[in-house]
Structure 1
Amino acid sequence: MDFSFTEEQSMLRDTVASYLADHYGFDARRAAAASEAGWRPAVWKAFAEELGILGASFPEALGGLGGGPVETMIIMEEFGKALVVEPYLGTVVIGGGFLQRSGRADAAELIGRIIAGDLVIAYAGAEAQGRYNWADLKTTARAEGGGYLLDGAKAVVVGAPWASHLIVTARTGGGQRDAEGVSVFLVDKAAPGVSTQDYPTVDGQRASEVRFDGVRLPASALIGAEGRGLPLVEQVLDEATAALCAEACGVLRRLHEGTLDYTGQRRQFGQPIARFQVLQHRMVDMFIQLEQAISMTCMAAIKVADPDAAGRAKAVSAAKVQIGKAARFVGQNAIQLHGGMGMTDEMAVVHYFKRATMIESALGSTDHHLARYERLSLG
């Protein structure tokens, strides 16, 4: 299969890469992640106004550039190379994915605010007991007074400290793990009854534990049909998982390149250790894992728009399994080949390793997606 980019896609990749090279060096990123805010709003606005990449994957009818999952893949891979912390995944991929299919009268206006960099969204779907089962919900939304009353808690909501709005899954009917009865809502984070406990994550991101105590929502807060939100959740999170795989490819590429560079400089017995055959074999194995991850991520980006839900899910889970295996193999070998230097905060390799480790478990671990792929394959 031909995985070549079009001229427009190549230009998008070069534009993003050039901007990040000029404005997102390792030291600048490290300082931003360690700052009180944890990100740079000015960079987010530049993504919107200078580069226009917040609209790259939206249809032209909504004010976007008419791209899709492949454009998202290109952007996320470049973000992975630079360890970008700004909330593109939560806002554009997940938030935009839900809003495009929401059926809301104000969907176009909200997407326009995303494209302009004025609306930041975090996805509040995971719960402590859920273990990647998106239907396992204790959070409830009870119909009351023509709207809903939202109660519950969400765990590890990445990007929530920066978000103006949250996309929340809640149960409006059925039992705790039933496929029916799952609904999706857009919630203003400043609404009375919403509280957050913010904290940094090990990979330089920010997240929150979020509580909802009697939060009153209008009927218009609903995204999609009441009680039938699970297929929409699975579709949008498959798109997000494919995008996350693309970010991982960028991270793994930097881990491999950094290891090649370091072993070419570090000397033992009067020569660079890169000349030792056993280490050459190790770095070739790292490269093979990287190339397999890239190929399967490309396939997932193509299949994610497949109307066949099972085919889409299988391609995404297969890619996530390979990403998980590659993240562990490439990351651990990169650290080992750097020796003690690989564990120091001043070296970029440890920051890439931390991000690769977090990606392995985000939106479903390797074991979860392997079991999902097996289940889908067996029907």
Structure 2
Amino acid sequence: MASTIASITIPVAPARVWQLIGGFNALPDWLPYIPHSELSEGGRVRTLANPAGEAIVERLEAFNDQERFYSYSILQAPFPARDYLATLRVKPAGDSASVVEWSGSFTPVGVTEQEIMQHFHGIYTDGLRALKEKMMGIPALGMGTFRLQGDVVMDSVRNGLEAGYRVIDTAQIYGNEAEVGAAIAASGVPREELFITTKIWIENLSRDKLIPSLKESLAKLRTDYVDLTLIHWPSRGGEVPVQEFMAALAEAKAQGLTRQIGVSNFTVELMRQAIDAVGADAIATNQIELHPYLQNRKVVEFARSQGIHITSYMTLAYGKVLGDPVIAKIAERHGATPAQVVLAWAMKLGYAVIPSSTQRANLDSNLKALNVKLSDSDMAQIAALDRNERLTSPDGLAPAWD
């Protein structure tokens, strides 16, 4: 008999986490390994489907709503295992945090104990990371405001909010936080419905400047907090150590100025330093240039190994990928635009995307990327377009890229 256990800490109260998990009776829509689930009439057996369409039949063995756990056995599955029993449990970790544990025991069939343990541990770990991402709420699709200023950015934000966007990405260096804030205030959209991101510019990275600069950003944005604050670029030549600005960013979160923190344009080595400073669990995302021509796989793989979400900026590569014949053919097959296909590609890989546009028609069209369902063949064709073509690498500011 083999066994494994995976766990993750989520800075959300246990009751809220358990509500999302919903016990055995809820569809596991937070688990990427399971795209479909059906519950029996009696509520004790559920039939799941993995991405290959193979059935997994589970039976509820134990359930305790107050102690927040349920156990289940597997009656049928395409796994090299039998005698499978698993438990999903939510435990408090202080007043406003939770530890979610997923444990299982099983007997290997035709494989070694090490192989079956790695197999299930991978499923558990991927599922718990997906749960954390869903709980922390970094939405899949938002609108960027890079290079938009004055009336142009106000019109863009207004149109975006009217179209249904609720995620807005700005930055101190964009010089448009005040206009973004004014457009939000004029929209009448409740603050709690919005997810606002800003980024700390390099001149404000030192311990004595970071929090005051963020407070200035909040005043311009007309809000008491932002949902996500990122370090826009690492300090030039390491003038301000990663430890210093990450500690200051964590303090901003502790003060309630931002609900989540993260980084942008960080290499693997810089992510390691940020993790050493505040821990991987504290880093919500790394926002990086990522598009079909620059798929940044080394950074993505390391971030995922640490449970750090990826946000893709410049997903359309300044429009360069929209004329690619491979993408054009995929778009034609799906009755979609090339932009919708590229955004759908990035989101299917689990990335958040923040395309910008000054045109209402484009904003409306980009939202429809959520409905484009690409096949494995489509994804493989786009994966083959990678040519390490980086479009953003400012002299004196960019780190030594991976």
Q: Which has the larger radius of gyration?
A: 2
Q: Normalised by the size of structure 2, how large is the TM-score?
A: 0.23
Q: Normalised by the size of structure 1, how large is the TM-score?
A: 0.24
Higher strand share: 2
